[in-house]
Amino acid sequence: SWSEYQQNRLKFHTITPNIENRLYECTCPVGIRKKPCKHSTMLMVNDSIFSYPPSTVSKPIEAKRKRGRPSKATKALSKN
């Protein structure tokens, strides 16, 4: 039904090849603005149209930083 379509249409993205410039276009909000999104970039890497820069691939993923102010040093770590 139409109401089910309206609820589910944003849950899926359609990726289509653009023959003119050999790139993929996606129906996600970023792809609609004619920018390469993460969905189309992934397919371009799989099809060997695009490759990630070596400096990006060799960089290790860092741990996520905690929110808020750092805690104070405990008595074992202070000079007093």
pTM to 2 decimals? 0.53
Distances (CA, A) of 63 to 38, 54, 57, 59, 60: 21, 21, 16, 13, 10
Q: What is the pLDDT of residue 78?
A: 59
The answer to whether the CB of 40 falls within 8 A of the CB of 17 is: no
Measured in degrees and rounded to the nearest 5, phi and psi for residue 10 equal -90, 0
Domains in the chain: boundaries: 2-53
**Structure confidence at residue 79 as a pLDDT band (50, 70, 90):** low
Tokens representing 14 are: 């359609």
Question: What type of residue sits at position 55?
Answer: S
- Determine which of 13-17, 21-25, 40-44, 75-79 has the lowest per-residue pLDDT on average: 75-79
